[in-house]
Amino acid sequence: MIKAGIIGASGYTGGELLRLLVNHPNVKLELATSRSLAGKPVTSTHRHLEGFLDLNYENPDSEDIRERCDVVFLAVPHGSAMNYVPELLDGNTKVVDLSADYRLETSEFEKIYGIKHSDPRNAVYGLVELHPEVAKENFVANPGCFPTGSILAAAPLAAAGLIDIAVFDSKTGISGAGISPTQNSHYPNLAENIIPYKLTAHRHRAEIVQELTGLEGKLRNINFTPHVIPSIRGIFTTAHLFTKETLSTDDLKTIYEEFYRDRPFIRFPSGVPSLTAVRGSNFCDISFEADKENNRVVVLSAIDNLVKGASGQAIQNMNLMFGLDETCGLWMPATAP
């Protein structure tokens, strides 16, 4: 059994890691940390896990974590993970970092996040569908939630060198904003409404740019605008992609199915994707339609932001890092409706 620890386990991504790991056939949950809640039962905050876990939150030092865990998931704020990684990796422990600290080139990270990076090492960007090489790594930077939905929607066309302009209009559930109440999560503000934010300069854009230009070096005109919708979970991305050639919907079908051949968590539903059909699951559902008049294609993707957009993808990475099938512990359908 793989002994797993979660650093920063009291938030939504921590809770989701726990939910998925309690039934993972190859994992034993060894450790869940929280500075402020140390000593209290994990189920005092994650009440739905009552009966599945007998852990208390702890606040151990890095050496203790390293000795007790074969794998550590970092579910800590941006700028904080870099304080754990060097010491945790100083042994045989593998690390999946769910923060943004190692997703971008160091200089790009420093520019976008306004934080001096104390540990400028490289990490593989753990979007398994683009980077199967995570299987050889001890350390993986788990992608951001928005980039996961946007990159997966556009990667096949980007890799084919067909995109001229990309507009990602994304709609997220509010759980992406975290477990603490905010103005945006205040029910009277969000219900019956939609809240756009960071219209032109959301930090996740840098990940999208990095990965899509990694597929096609000349792609420059990449735009990303996120909105919060009245939903707990899910990220729905409407990608308006202007192409260099006129494509048909059949062309798209060929390109996408070929690109994602044998990727178990990519599905192409008949009809449009639905947040309902992925809720609680690790799938990314994708569909598309060509608009020949304006050389535009509309690509839609739906993920659960807490699963494929965070904790599920982290476990998918862990599975590969330990030589397991990538679906291990993740092969469950959505809780729909």
Task: Report the residue number, 102 or 256, with the smaller CB distance to a second copy.
Answer: 256
Q: How far is CA 142 from CA 44, 139, 145, 169, 234, in A?
A: 27, 10, 9, 22, 17
Q: What is the residue whose two structure tokens read 């702890």? A: 58
End-to-end CA distance of the chain: 34
334 near a second copy, judged by CB under 8 A: yes
Name which of 140 and 154 has its Cβ closer to a second copy: 154
Q: Looking at 64-72, 141-149, 221-229, 253-261, which segment touches a second copy (CB under 8 A)?
A: 221-229
CA distance 215 to 161: 8
Near a second copy by CB under 8 A: residue from 63, 64, 197, 254:
197
CA 166 – CA 241 distance, rounded (Å): 5
Please identify which residue in 28, 35, 40, 48 interacts with a second copy, judged by CB under 8 A.
48
Handedness of CA 109, 266, 333, 279 (dihedral sign): positive
Q: Annotated catalytic residue: which of 69, 145, 284, 328? A: 145
Residue of the chain from 83, 138, 210, 238 that contacts a second copy (CB under 8 A)? 238
CB 307 within 8 A of CB 16: yes
Q: Which is nearer to a second copy, 131 or 279 (CB)?
A: 279
At residue 235, the 3 state secondary structure works out as strand
Q: What is the footprint of a second copy within residues 274-303 (CB under 8 A)?
A: 274-281, 283, 289-291, 294, 296, 298, 300
Q: Does 248 bind a second copy (CB under 8 A)?
A: no
Of 100-108, 150-158, 232-240, 317-325, the segment contacting a second copy by CB under 8 A is: 232-240
- Closest by alpha carbon to 317, among 85, 141, 155, 198? 141
Q: How far apart are CA 146 and CA 310, in angstroms?
A: 10
Q: Helical H runs in 52-176?
A: 62-68, 85-88, 106-113, 145-159
Q: Which of 39, 191, 217, 262 binds a second copy (CB under 8 A)?
A: 191
Considering only 47, 111, 116, 244, the residue that binds a second copy (CB under 8 A) is 47
Q: Which of 8, 9, 12, 126 binds a second copy (CB under 8 A)?
A: 12
Which is closer to a second copy, CB of 115 or CB of 177? 177
The only residue of 80, 269, 322, 328 in contact with a second copy, by rule CB under 8 A: 269
Q: Look at phi and psi of residue 51 and say left if phi exceeds 0, alpha if psi is from -120 to 50, else beta.
A: left
Is 69 among the catalytic positions?
no
| DSSP label at residue 305 | T
Give DSSP secondary structure letters for 51-78. TT--PBPB---HHHHHHH-SEEEE---T
Query: Does 42 contact a second copy by CB under 8 A?
Result: no
One of 8, 14, 17, 19 touching a second copy (CB under 8 A): 19
Residue 240 in contact with a second copy, rule: CB under 8 A: yes
How far apart are the C-alpha atoms of 184 and 133, rounded to whole Å?
Answer: 38
x/- track of binding to a second copy for residues 86-125 (CB under 8 A): ----------------------------------------
Q: Using CB under 8 A, which of the segments 87-95, 98-106, 137-145, 161-169 binds a second copy?
A: 161-169
We find the least distance from the C-beta atom of residue 248 to a second copy, in angstroms, to be: 12
Catalytic residues: 145
